[in-house]
Structure 1
Amino acid sequence: MVGREAVMRSAEEFNEVQGLISGGLNDCAISRLTGIPRPTVRDWRCRPPNRLGRPTAAAPCGVLHDFSTLPTAAYSYLLGLYLGDGCISKSRGVWRMRIVLGTAYPAIIDRCREAIDMVMPGQHSAIMQKPTRCVEVGHYSKHWPCLFPQHGPGRKHSRRIALEPWQQTLVDQATEEFVLGLIHSDGCRVVANDRGVRSVRYHFSNRSEDIIGLFTAALDSLNVHWTRSTKYIVSIYRKADTARLDEFIGPKSIAVPWTNVHYTS
């Protein structure tokens, strides 16, 4: 597996290392010459170059990314949050991700911050209090447009939203986390009383047909039956299906661990 250091290295550095490898230098010598950590040099030596994503001319950060090294669970969860209540915008010459979350659910705020910190190792997200019982979890980085290429001008429902192949691969590996992020942003869990019988229901609301399609496709992959309650709302009613969602979601007030997730009411 390519080390995290390799994620943010530039194409020029990668090409330089490949040239030195071709020249017969060992990893220690290359590290001393370039200043690139030896584990990164070793990773680049062992992994064929065609496995590495290469930046396009339009890439905002202009560096080499290997998206396969992203933390799968944290990224998929953060992607769900971003598609629901997040945005990426340029501020003071650098890109900023913002996720707006309700103060009524501190466990979700903490989990959002943890996800950002795992996706951007060695850095820390910040919280800004909003006047409407919300907080804004934010983080500055030139790499956000590369990691979340769904960003763009205007509201999400007014433009096409589709996952890149590398994003779909990560979501396929951590589908529960992706669904969890979408529910934590634009969804809810309701405990209803149907003629004296307690029942759990899940709802997801979004004005983007594309985002609704991503949500329902993820449910399909988990074999969770869903219905369209309205044009903008997807609902899960059946007992077996809500029980399946309760295994990894549960009430928004409950902190969800990153491993061995099995919520029980």
Structure 2
Amino acid sequence: MYGIDARRRALELAAEGNSLNTVSHRTGISRWTIRKWQRQPDPFLLHGEVPCPRCRPEASRPDDHAAYAYLLGLYLGDGCISPHPRRGGYYLRIACADARPGLVTICREAVAATLPGREVRCVRKQGCVMVTSYSKHWPCLLPQHGPGKKHDRRIVLKFWQQEIVDEYPWEFARGLVHSDGCRITNWATRTVAGERKRYEYPRYFFTNKSDDIRQLYTDTLDRLGVVWTHCTRDGKPYNISVARRASVALMDRYVGPKH
């Protein structure tokens, strides 16, 4: 009577702490059916596909929290999820610069650790490598998936995602920087004893059009004690800069440049 998507939605609402009455009212599914779903094996098992942690009868979190926090940062920066036109599942794609082979490797490892047992492929495009994995479960694990561009819609973490980010904030910040960020060397000049001297200093930038994603990044930096500033473009916040020496040292220790 009910499809897989309806079941997944009801179980997700129940896993978030909503009462069966509330879930039934919001989905139109009877409490008896929801309770039965919570007790019985997931229908994905009947089709030979092991369910992900989010759509099991008792929804849980991905096993490797650190890998998931990093992958979430990568996805919010340079990732997308697209449906397969015939098979009914979804492709997760993370764009990595092909000049950064280390990033490609780390990204592949994070994808594999988040959803074990799925093939992870690298598809070479012009100027980048698309780290790609197919599964029915990617929208369960990355519920920020939706129609249109991320900066044109709200991006809010689920409660279980926020708990993982709170547990591994550096991994989340690292994923964001490794997708839409960079470490550069700035320079400035100063006159000392009548002589013009040039000074160089490292700086981290994070650039994203989404107000929500920038907010997730800066909230995480605040919890980590990293001092940051906004840099504007056309009068609007666009870049997040980290330039204070102590804060750059923290970023170097736990994030580091892409490689």
- 1:64 shift after superposition: 3.3
- 1:177 aligned to which of 171, 183, 186: 171
Q: Does the Cα contact within 8 Å between 1:96 and 1:138 map onto a contact in 2?
A: yes
Partner of 2:222: 220
The separation in 2 between residues aligned to 1:69 and 1:203, in whole angstroms, is 29
- 1:87 shift after superposition: 0.6
Q: Does the Cα contact within 8 Å between 1:207 and 1:232 map onto a contact in 2?
A: yes
Are 1:98 and 2:93 an aligned pair?
A: yes
- 1:148 shift after superposition: 0.6
Are 1:143 and 2:137 an aligned pair?
A: yes
SS at match of 1:199: strand
- 1:16 shift after superposition: 4.4
Unpaired segments ≥5 residues, structure 2: 1-34, 42-52, 190-197
- 1:152 shift after superposition: 0.3
Return the letter of the residue paired with 1:105.
R
1:10-44 CA deviation, whole Å, 9 max, x = no partner? x9686248xxxxxxxxxxxxxxxxxxxxxxxxxxx
Q: Does the Cα contact within 8 Å between 2:83 and 2:91 map onto a contact in 1?
A: yes
The separation in 2 between residues aligned to 1:244 and 1:194, in whole angstroms, is 22
Partner of 2:112: 117
SS at match of 1:232: strand
Return the letter of the residue paired with 2:93.
R
Partner of 1:252: 258
The separation in 2 between residues aligned to 1:69 and 1:151, in whole angstroms, is 17
SS at match of 2:151: helix
The separation in 1 between residues aligned to 2:58 and 2:215, in whole angstroms, is 27
- Return the structure number with greater strand share: 2
Q: CA RMSD in A?
A: 2.1
- 1:197 shift after superposition: 2.9
Q: Does the Cα contact within 8 Å between 1:116 and 1:124 map onto a contact in 2?
A: no
Instruction: Report the number of matched residues.
Output: 201
The separation in 2 between residues aligned to 1:210 and 1:252, in whole angstroms, is 24
Counterparts of residues 18-33 of structure 1 (less than 5 Å):
none
Partner of 2:68: 75
Return the letter of the residue paired with 1:15.
R
Q: Does the Cα contact within 8 Å between 2:182 and 2:206 map onto a contact in 1?
A: yes
Return the letter of the residue paired with 1:197.
Y
Partner of 1:201: 203
| Alignment TM-score, normalising by the size of structure 2 | 0.73
- 1:232 shift after superposition: 0.9
Return the letter of the residue paired with 2:73.
G
The separation in 1 between residues aligned to 2:90 and 2:77, in whole angstroms, is 19
- 1:68 shift after superposition: 3.1
The separation in 2 between residues aligned to 1:206 and 1:117, in whole angstroms, is 26
The percentage of counterpart residues that share the same residue type is: 46
Q: Does the Cα contact within 8 Å between 2:227 and 2:247 map onto a contact in 1?
A: yes
